[in-house]
């Protein structure tokens, strides 16, 4: 495996950053998770736009233009000769003295990793996932807007571990008003009477690229889509629930907080959306 590190390619075992990197010390940085399907980097430009938006939001200067960094991503995929892969593109604040002040870091560290990823077993894609809502909340007044894909993933990590401790596969995070926002690393949709619903991102969700892909596919397939707030009660009484994310792709949810969704198996609309998604990416 070759890793892109600050303009050079390093072997996986030699790709090192300093312990004074502020991404390592304070989670000060942004990242993207991107998929490669049959050699094609899926929605790369959309991911790059989001990366630069996240960086701008935290006053982080990326030492490449968007087009330059986009080209480095494509190069790194080619150099690793992987046709199906997952890209982790990371931009940290860079090396600096101890202390939070980001202005003390001279230049960002830029890392491009290309590897394999498997978030859920094939069985879970076939049978559907069990999820729980967790005490972790998305609070918009926080300094860090959930729209920013930052290295600050402890909220998400703790939510995921709460789900695991409850014997569930994924955690659903609620807003402080109790509206459903998203999963620990994926967006959420529900189906009711053949209408698709997904939370508006302003509730506290990442503007997912797979979410947008499913919105586009729903339009093509003629399913009405409503971006509006909904609660756990709506989820319990949905006909279908599904999660979307670059790592997760599209996966059916068949149980929420112990309530089975619909007939407790992946539903017809989810299957329709998933088969269209698979056609689109391969």
Catalytically annotated residues: 149
Q: Does 187 bind ligand PDD (CB under 6 A)?
A: yes
Looking up tokens 């609309």 gives: 269
Considering only CA atoms, give the Rg of the chain.
Answer: 19
Residues 220-259 that bind ligand PDD (CB under 6 A): 244-248
Beta-carbon count within 10 A of 220 CB: 9
Shortest reach from residue 203's CB to ligand PDD, in Å: 12
Q: Does 130 bind ligand PDD (CB under 6 A)?
A: no
Number of residues that bind ligand PDD (CB under 6 A): 16
54 backbone dihedrals φ, ψ, rounded to 5°: -60, -45
Single out the residue of 92, 130, 133, 210 in contact with ligand PDD (rule: CB under 6 A). Answer: 210
Beta-carbon count within 10 A of 179 CB: 18
Single out the residue of 41, 134, 209, 241 in contact with ligand PDD (rule: CB under 6 A). Answer: 209
Single out the residue of 23, 29, 33, 204 in contact with ligand PDD (rule: CB under 6 A). Answer: 33
Q: Rounded to whole angstroms, how far apart are CA atoms 41 and 35? A: 6
* Minimum CB distance to ligand PDD smaller for 89 or for 256: 89
Q: Rounded to whole angstroms, how far apart are CA atoms 129 and 138? A: 22
Q: Does 51 bind ligand PDD (CB under 6 A)?
A: no
Query: Among all residues, whose Cβ is closest to ligand PDD?
Result: 33
Single out the residue of 54, 80, 92, 156 in contact with ligand PDD (rule: CB under 6 A). Answer: 156
Beta-carbon count within 10 A of 145 CB: 17
* Minimum CB distance to ligand PDD smaller for 30 or for 110: 30
Tell me which DSSP letter residue 261 carries: P
Q: Does 181 bind ligand PDD (CB under 6 A)?
A: no
Q: Does 170 bind ligand PDD (CB under 6 A)?
A: no
180-183 vs 170-175, strand pairing mode? antiparallel
- Alpha carbon separation from 266 to 21, 91, 185 (Å, rounded): 44, 37, 20
For binding to ligand PDD (CB under 6 A), which residues are involved?
Answer: 33, 156, 182, 185-187, 206, 208-211, 244-248
């Amino acid at each position: 495996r070759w890793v892109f590190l600050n303009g050079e390619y390093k072997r996986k075992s030699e790709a090192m950053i300093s312990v004074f990197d502020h991404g390592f010390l304070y989670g000060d940085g942004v990242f993207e998770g991107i998929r490669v399907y049959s050699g094609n980097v899926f929605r790369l430009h959309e991911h790059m736009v989001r990366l630069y938006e996240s960086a701008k939001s935290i006053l982080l200067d990326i030492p490449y233009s968007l087009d330059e960094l986009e080209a480095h991503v494509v190069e790194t995929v080619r150099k690793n000769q992987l046709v199906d892969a997952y890209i982790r593109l990371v931009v940290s604040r860079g090396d600096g003295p101890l202390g939070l002040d980001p202005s003390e870091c001279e230049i960002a560290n830029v890392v491009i990793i290309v590897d394999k990823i498997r978030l859920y077993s094939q069985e879970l894609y076939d049978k559907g996932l069990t999820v729980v809502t967790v005490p972790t909340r998305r609070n918009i007044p926080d300094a860090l807007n959930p729209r920013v894909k930052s290295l600050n993933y402890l909220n998400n990590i703790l939510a995921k571990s709460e789900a695991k401790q409850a014997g569930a596969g994924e955690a659903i995070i609620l807003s402080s008003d109790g509206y459903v926002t998203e999963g620990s690393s994926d967006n959420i949709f529900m189906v009711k009477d053949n209408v698709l619903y997904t939370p508006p991102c302003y509730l506290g969700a990442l503007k997912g690229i797979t979410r947008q892909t499913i919105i586009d596919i729903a339009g093509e397939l003629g399913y009405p889509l409503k971006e509006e707030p909904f609660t756990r009660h709506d989820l319990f009484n949905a006909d279908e629930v599904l999660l979307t994310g670059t790592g997760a792709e599209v996966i059916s949810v068949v149980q929420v907080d112990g309530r089975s969704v619909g007939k407790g198996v992946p539903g017809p609309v989810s299957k329709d959306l998933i088969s269209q998604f698979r056609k689109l990416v391969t």
